[in-house]
Amino acid sequence: MQIIRHSEQTLKTALISKNPVLVSQYEKLDAGEQRLMNEAFQPASDLFGPITLHSPSDWITSHPEAPQDFEQFFSDPYRKTPSPDKRSIYIQAIGSLGNTRIISEEYIKWLTGYCKAYFYGLRVKLLEPVPVSATRCSFRVNENTQNLQIHAGDILKFLKKKKPEDAFCIVGITMIDLYPRDSWNFVFGQASLTDGVGIFSFARYGSDFYSMRYEGKVKKLKKTSSSDYSIFNNYYIPEITSVLLLRSCKTLTHEIGHIFGLRHCQWLACLMQGSNHLEEADRRPLNLCPICLRKLQCAVGFSIVERYKALVRWIDDESSGTPGATPEHSREGNGNLPKPVEAFKEWKEWIIKCLAVLQK
């Protein structure tokens, strides 16, 4: 295992900058916000730690890229920022996301609520779900994993056409695996920052995807024409577990972060770190490091305290329903399902520690 440690001065400059205008901007932040962000360059901080690399296949080793500090983010001429008339994040479900209509609807609500808290201050709106056929996308069966896949680029074109006037961005979510081009095996997601569109798949986040017993394998692709989407009528959808919800929330917020102009983080353990594989994505925390938090706050304009409180409320607000009920036992007619937030409990404790620093 390799630990990437930057000097205190390097982290301080990455966060605050040496540009007098940006230093002055930082000094005008609330005292509690400065106290929390200053944890970035405290070697003994138990809130923000260094990045750890576990194998040569990890992102930073295999995808060398220039780090982005706050000043570079702030000065980026291509960065898009929400404006008063474009302050909405739209979520478009493509295909069913759960094994029943109720599960699908609840799961989308949970993701929407999480985005509202994470990008606190912006509106998050749901578009009516659409079947795969509505996108007119290309599709295939993966030769290696034998699962259905839809073409990410085609979906992006569909979303661009559907983007509402007041949208800062529109993101598609699906339980069907994605591929960006014929020569690629798969992709977790793809986004166009200039168009403010993205598509993300949670298909590989089920506990059984990489197992021998995976039920989503398709023997052979039978289609009479390029417009025959009947194979998607009953495609396999994994059970919505707490781990799958956590992984989905991570991917969604990481990719929307890119649309705001945040590049992959190379400073501290952070949601915005790149990931090459599921194991690495699982090690990545849900939270932003102080450098990336300052970037997002600059773009959106939220109070950090209010944002953290909203995230705690999302974790605490377990939808009413039969205690202990699982999606397998639920019925179409049931009301709200309990939100599976067990995997978020540790993060909630971390947020409470941050709130203690902010509100000293």
Give 160-205 pLDDT, tens digit per residue.
999 999 999 999 999 999 999 998 888 888 888 889 999 999 999 9
Which of these CATH numbers, 2.60.40, 3.40.390, 2.60.120, 2.40.128, describes 88-258?
3.40.390
Domain ranges of the chain: 17-40+49-78+265-311+350-359, 88-258
Q: Give the chain's length.
A: 360
- Rounded Cα distance between 37 and 357, Å, is 10
Q: Are 92 and 173 in contact (CB under 8 A)?
A: yes
From the candidates 255, 328, 332, 342, give the one annotated as an active-site residue: 255
The whole-model pTM stands at: 0.91
From CA 80, how far away is CA 11, in angstroms rounded?
Answer: 25
| pLDDT one-digit tens code per residue, 86-109 | 999 999 999 999 988 999 999 999
CA-to-CA distance for 248 and 254, rounded, in angstroms? 10
Q: How far apart are CA 8 and CA 1, in angstroms?
A: 22
Neighbours of 94 (CB within 10 A): 24
Q: How does pLDDT run across 140-149, given as a tens digit for each residue?
A: 998 888 899 9
**Cβ neighbours of residue 264 closer than 8 Å, sequence gap 6 or more:** 59, 63, 65, 68, 272, 273, 274
**205-215 pLDDT, tens per residue?**
988 888 777 88
Is 65 known to be catalytic?
A: no
